[in-house]
Structure 1
């Protein structure tokens, strides 16, 4: 038996589906690998001032006629005195008994971040960081392979995050962790960092160093004041204006995409803007260093 045969293969579900930014509504996409327990879908956007309703459907297939089965519909309604959400399942051409959830923290004109977390027997939904509802499956989760978004909604980003059970059994990397960048960074190169935040975290940093140990740029998350910021080599801090998506005992995924003029950041599938760095400085970077109160499972440069 060769040495390679002793290595555990990385499951396909460990691969993150790229986020989608500013899709045109109605919008439909295949869910890479389908849905399974431990997968999360994030939806960031704005409720238009004229909105009556929108729906997010997790479907079994993507045909238009006949209408495919819908394992889970999440549909906020704004045309009544008190906005509410309707959840339902569509099977064999018929909608089943709907469930109404009152008190959704969404109003016309509001920005929002909705998280769909799929577990073994139910899906849990949070809105703007607060748990809102749970819905027991009426169709097998394994049949779902399509996401469809329609109605009165402006979508900024759709993200797909694998909080996979296999991750718990993956070997952890020592923290602080260092990875060499022999050729520096070039447009199109992606840095991926996956891990788990510890129970009582204080901070988490990703630093990019050049060959002289100079640190041109650092991404720093502070759990004390719940801020995420770019920190330059001369100590200047630029706060990232976005929801703080790092949480104790939760998995996270950071993507840094190198592009002309800087680095583009995505966290848990949500795009969080970019920081400026000229091409010469990017090419001179030689080391990625990660520190803080996290367990690391994957660092890819």
Structure 2
């Protein structure tokens, strides 16, 4: 780096932290950047057959003495006559009034996907894609910077995600797609068939981790004749992001370069009439034009480069 040259600041507010696989419980971790409306936390795991109870706490710090305030305490209890869930808030060492849900959507011995969606005034919780409960904040969400998991629970993965940036004004509950662990189908280069092509409203989601010494990352869509009508390419040499045309013409994407070594990333492509909209780490980055006939003729998604993949969904 030449004298006086400045490194581009890392836009922390854009970057989602890497998922955690198979953490040992009790497990406590920092939530990078804290919580704010629009963030989601996903837990993927199994409830043991003899589970009595577990809890997921969104804490204000991680001190041991005095104990931290807990803004959101999510506590399923299986050992009672009527299994239920308790939500509460711990403030200044004192618990508030319990909020109780008598219907327990989690079952002993069963796998689950828990999704916590943080809004402006409340957190919504879904279990296996179905809305389960909502709990109004009693402490400011901005104070939360720590996740704690305790009790009888086997956690396979913890993910920190953003709400779909394309769902502007949508009232639908967001969907959390499980991370696929140690799957041969996720080895890079990775290929996925698109037997029906693409159509308006379809979303392609690619999540992964940038390797330690990355060179490039490429996501391409191919048609039946193996032509490549559209390619998204990130180059770490010059820190550029661009669309590449079938004739090799590069159209730079004017946006911060949001890929960083050993950082988690999430690419979303939304198919719409006339092209594809792009979002990276929850931030919309514009679109590229493609005719509807071209989109319908696409038959393969191919991913290559200096990344480790955690999820490919479409």
Is TM > 0.5 for Structure 1 vs Structure 2? yes
Aligned to 1:80: 80
Aligned to 2:287: none
Verify: 1:297 aligned to 2:279, yes or no: yes
Aligned to 2:43: 43
Taking only aligned residues, the RMSD between alpha carbons, in angstroms, comes to: 3.7
Change (3 A) 1:87 1:257: same
CA distance in 2, matches of 1:253, 1:287: 11
Aligned to 1:124: 124
Aligned to 1:255: 208
1:51 aligned counterpart, secondary structure: coil
TM-score (norm 1): 0.59
CA distance in 2, matches of 1:105, 1:97: 22
TM-score (norm 2): 0.56
Deviations 1:231-269 (A, max 9, x none): xxxxxxxxxxxxxxxxx698955226679xxxxxxxxxx
Deviations 1:161-185 (A, max 9, x none): 12387997xxxxxxxxxxxxxxxxx
CA distance in 2, matches of 1:122, 1:251: 29
Q: CA deviation at 1:82?
A: 3.0
Q: CA deviation at 1:16?
A: 1.1
Aligned to 2:154: 154
Matches within 5 A, 1:54-93: 54-93=54-93
Q: Is the 8 A contact 1:167 1:297 kept in 2?
A: no
Deviations 1:114-137 (A, max 9, x none): 000001111000000100011110
Q: Is the 8 A contact 2:105 2:127 kept in 1?
A: yes
1:89 aligned counterpart, secondary structure: strand
Runs of 4+ in 1 over 4 A off after TM superposition: 164-168, 220-224, 248-253, 256-259
Aligned to 1:107: 107
Q: Is the 8 A contact 1:14 1:162 kept in 2?
A: no
2:76 aligned counterpart, secondary structure: strand
CA distance in 1, matches of 2:91, 2:30: 19
Aligned to 2:219: 288
2:89 aligned counterpart, secondary structure: strand
